[in-house]
Chains A and B, each alone.
Chain A
Amino acid sequence: MVEIRIHGRGGQGSVTASKLIAMASFYDGQFSQGFPNFGVERRGAPVTAYVRIDDKFIRLRSQIYNPDYIIIQDPSLVEAVDVFAGAKEGTIALINTEKPASDFKAPKGVEIKTIAATKIAMQIIGKPIINTILLGAFAGLTGIIKIESVGQAITEQFTDEEIVKKNIEAAKYGFNSIKKK
C-alpha cells in the first residue's frame, strides 16, 4: 500500500488533489481512498488531505502517520507545520517552490524534490491554480499514477472545457518538467 499526505492551505485545493489522485489510480485499475483531514475549512488555514493506493480494497480508516510521499502545496507550510512528521527512510517530499531542494532541511532519509508550480500556473492557466501541475509532477516523479489517468480525472472533475484543457496542459507540463530532471 502506498500512502500520500498532502499539505496545503484552505483554498489551494488539497482535498481536490487527494480526490484527483484517488480517481487517477482508480482509472489505472488500482484501489484507492482519498479523504480530507476533517477540519473546519477556512481560506488560508493549513489543510491536510490523504490518499491510499493499493491492489485490493482499502479497509483502513485511520489518518496517515507514516507517509511514503508528502506533497507540500505552499512552501511557507514547511515553517508553519510539521510537514515531515512521521516521514521514514525513503519518503519523498514534493514541494511547490522556486527554491532548489537544497534550501530545505529534511529529516534523514527523506528526499526533497521541488517544482515552481505557482510560477508555471501563472504562465499556463493565468491563475495560481497549482494542483494539477503538482499532480502531473507527482505522476512523473513516482510513476504511481499514469499521466493519461490524471487527464481522465481532470476531465471527470471539471465541467468547463477550457478549464479542463488548461489543467491537462498544466498536468502534462508538471509531468515533463520533473521527469527530465
Chain B
Amino acid sequence: MRKILEGSRAIAETINACKPSVVSAYPITPQTHIVEELAKLKADGDGHYEYVRAESEFAAASIVLGASATGVRVYTATSSQGLLLMTEVLYNIAGMRLPIVMTNANRAVSAPINIWNDQQDAVTMRDSGWLMWFGETNQEVCDLHILAYKIAEKLQLPIMVNLDGFILTHVVEPVEIETTEKIKKFLPDYKPTEFLDVNNPLTLGAFATPEHYFEIRQELHQDIIDAKKAIINSCNEFKKIFGRDLNLVEYYGDKNADTVLVAMGSVLGTIKDAADELTKAGQSTQGGPDGKIGVLKIVAFRPWPKEEILSHLERAKNIAVIDKSISLGREGILASEIKQTVGGEKNVTSFIVGLGGRDVTVQMIKKIYEQAKNKNEEAVFVGR
C-alpha cells in the first residue's frame, strides 16, 4: 500500500512485515524513531517478535547475535557512536556467518559531539565482513531491507542497510509498504542449516588455530566477492514480484559524459537535480560549458561492484567522487576505492561534503562539476 509517512516508520513497518522473531536495540538519534515504532507495533499487538530493550548497543548487538545463533530471523538498528560501540560484536557476527540485518541511520562521529548526518560511522565498519548497502530514498531503503534478509539468509552473511540520518529517517514522503503476504513470495521463512540446538549440540565461532584461521578468513573474503551474483539474481526476482528496480549501482544522465559524479546515499537526489540543470544550461548556451554530465550511484559498497563501476566509468575523463566521510589525512573513502578500481589514467578527484550535517545544495554540486576538470591531487572540501 502506498502511504505517506516518515522514513523511520516506513522502515519499521517493512521490518515488521518481514516477520523477525527477535528485535533488540538501544535508542540513539537519529535511529530512535525506527526502534520506537517497532516497540510500539509490539505493544499494540501488531508485531509478533520478542522486543528486547538493551542497556547499550554492545548488548543489543550481542542479543541479536545470540538470537540469530539459535536459528531465527533478527533485527537491530543503530547510528554513529552506537555503531562504534558494536564494533567487536559486528566482527564476531560476520566471522560466525550469522545472517543478521541491521539498519544504520548514518550520523557523524564524536568529537565534537554532533547528532547530524554524515557517513563516517558506516565506512568505519568497511572491513568488518558485513555487506554494506546505501539507499537514496526511503522506498529504496525499505526495498533493500527485504532484499537484505533474502541475501543474508541465503549466503549466511550479515548486511548493514544504510540511510542518511534525519535526511531520510525524519522526512515524510510517499513509500510503497509491502505486506507480509507479498514479501513471503520473495522471502521464504528462514530455515537455518546450522544453529544452536540442545538436541543437536554444536559450537559457533569456536577457537581457530593458525592452521585453520587463515583459510576461514580467505573463505569469508571470497564469499563476499561471490555475493554479487546472488544479489543480481535476487534483484531480478524482486523486480518481477514488486515491480521496482534494485541494483548494485545505478547510472543516470548522459552515457557519453566526460564528467561523472559518484556518490552514495540520499545526496544522489540532489546530484541528479543538479545534473538535469547543468544539462539544460549546456543545451541552451552556445560555446558554453559542454553540460554533459553523468551520475553513478553506488548502492552496494560491499560487495564492491568492480565490473559494474568499470563499465559505467569507461568513457569518463573526469570523475568526481563525493564523500560524506574521510580517511583523515588522506581523502574520501569512496574516492580511494574508485581510484583503485579505475586505475591511474583517469582524473579522479575526492570531494568532501556534508560532514556533521552540513547541507548539500544544488549550487555546491554545480561547483564540484566545474572543479572536476581540474587536476586535484588532494581532497577538496566543499562546505558552501
Contact = CB atoms under 8 A, between A and B. Distances in A.
Interface string B258-287: 000000001111101100000000000000
Contacts of A26: 4, 174
Interface stretch (B76-84, B164-172, B343-351): B164-172
A36 B4 CA distance: 16
A13 to B, nearest CB: 14
Interface in A30-59: 31-36, 38, 40, 57-59
B46 to A, nearest CB: 14
Nearest to B271: A59
Contacts of A57: 137, 174
A18 interface: yes
Given A18-B172, A31-B174, A58-B173, A23 B362 contact: no
B360 A62 contact: yes
Given A19-B6, A38-B166, A38-B357, A61 B172 contact: no
Interface centre among B116, B172, B272 (most CB of A within 10 A): B172
Interface in A140-154: none
Contacts of B360: 61-62
Given A36-B166, A61-B267, A62-B359, 15 more contacts: A26-B174, A27-B4, A34-B171, A34-B172, A35-B170, A38-B116, A38-B117, A38-B170, A58-B269, A60-B270, A61-B171, A61-B270, A62-B360, A62-B361, A63-B359
A60 B273 contact: yes
Given A32-B4, A38-B166, A61-B167, A22 B172 contact: yes
A104 interface: no
Interface string B299-342: 00000000000000000000000000000000000000000000
A51 to B, nearest CB: 9
Contacts of A158: none
B165 to A, nearest CB: 8
Interface of B: 4, 6, 30, 115-117, 137, 164, 166-167, 170-174, 266-270, 272-273, 357, 359-362
Say what secondary structure dominates the interface of chain A: mixed
Chain A, interface residues (CB within 8 Å), range: 20 to 34
Contacts of A34: 171-173
Contact of B172 (A27, A33, A60, A65): A33
Nearest to A25: B4
Nearest to A50: B171
Interface of A: 18-19, 22-23, 26-27, 31-36, 38, 40, 57-63, 65
A170 B84 CA distance: 48
B359 to A, nearest CB: 5
B4 A35 contact: no
Contacts of A61: 164, 167, 171, 266-267, 269-270, 360
B362 A62 contact: yes
A60 B266 CA distance: 9
Contacts of A18: 172
Nearest to B172: A34
Contacts of B115: 38, 40
A59 B269 contact: yes
A27 B359 CA distance: 29
Contact of B362 (A27, A32, A60): A60
A36 B171 CA distance: 7
A81 B171 CA distance: 24
A45 B357 CA distance: 20
Contacts of A63: 359
B116 A35 contact: no
Nearest to A26: B4
Interface centre among B30, B268, B359 (most CB of A within 10 A): B359
A60 B269 contact: yes
B273 A59 contact: yes
Contacts of B4: 22-23, 26-27, 32
